[in-house]
């Protein structure tokens, strides 16, 4: 039982240490007004930063609207004749995955663009996390150093215990 408990603790610790923070964000386009005419999506997008891995969630009447990605000129002219990508999947609950750093020009190709149903977003790489401020040495062990001195051996012990338990199962 004790080994099982240690194994579970090791797996949880390994998961917490190994899994990076998820940074992708889901944006419901238009918030509670969704993808409909007479909404200014330029204003909706103001102040939002779109990063690689984020996604746009469109909710609309699938019989009346769609989501097409076009070039900048076609976007400006509401021209849906030459879409780069048709993001519509037929359910009226569609996702545009922002997986390339570029400008995405999206519009409704069933006439809604003339009623304002168009959205341009610039997708960027996620900025690096801010650097930590240097820790001043006061001659005593800091809290971070003390925690690290405990966690590193504990993590190594946990991983070795987990490995031993796995090998014993075989």
What's the residue count for the chain?
A: 170
10: confidence class by pLDDT, cuts 50, 70, 90? very low
Q: Where residue 132 falls among pLDDT bands split at 50, 70, 90?
A: confident
Contact call for residues 41 and 29 (beta carbons, < 8 A) = yes
Class of domain 26-124: mainly beta
Q: How far is CA 143 from CA 50, 150, 153, 167, in A?
A: 36, 11, 16, 36
What's residue 13's pLDDT? 44
What percentage of the chain exceeds 90 in pLDDT? 58
Answer whether 9's CB lies under 8 Å from 158's CB: yes
Backbone angles phi, psi at 74, to 5 degrees: -65, -35
pLDDT over 90 at 91, yes or no: no
Distance between CA atoms of residues 16 and 37, nearest Å: 45
pLDDT of 134 over the 80 cut:
no
Pairwise pLDDT comparison (3 vs 42), residue with the higher score: 42
In the chain, domain spans: 26-124
Structure tokens that stand for 106 in this block: 């999206």
């Amino acid at each position: 039982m004790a080994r099982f408990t240690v194994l579970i603790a090791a797996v949880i610790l390994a998961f917490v240490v190994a899994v990076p923070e998820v940074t992708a964000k889901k944006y419901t386009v238009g918030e509670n007004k969704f993808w409909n005419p007479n909404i200014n999506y330029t204003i909706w997008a103001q102040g939002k930063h779109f990063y690689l891995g984020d996604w746009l969630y469109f909710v609309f009447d699938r019989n009346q609207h769609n989501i097409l990605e076009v070039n900048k000129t076609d976007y400006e002219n509401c021209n849906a004749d030459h879409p780069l990508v048709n993001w519509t999947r037929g359910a009226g609950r569609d996702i545009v995955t922002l997986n390339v750093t570029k400008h995405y020009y999206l519009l409704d190709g069933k006439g809604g663009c003339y009623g304002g149903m168009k959205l341009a977003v610039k997708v960027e790489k996620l900025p690096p996390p801010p650097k930590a401020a240097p820790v001043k040495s006061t001659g005593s062990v800091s809290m971070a150093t003390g925690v690290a001195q405990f966690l590193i051996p504990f993590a190594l012990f946990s991983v070795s215990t987990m490995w031993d338990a796995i090998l014993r199962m075989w």
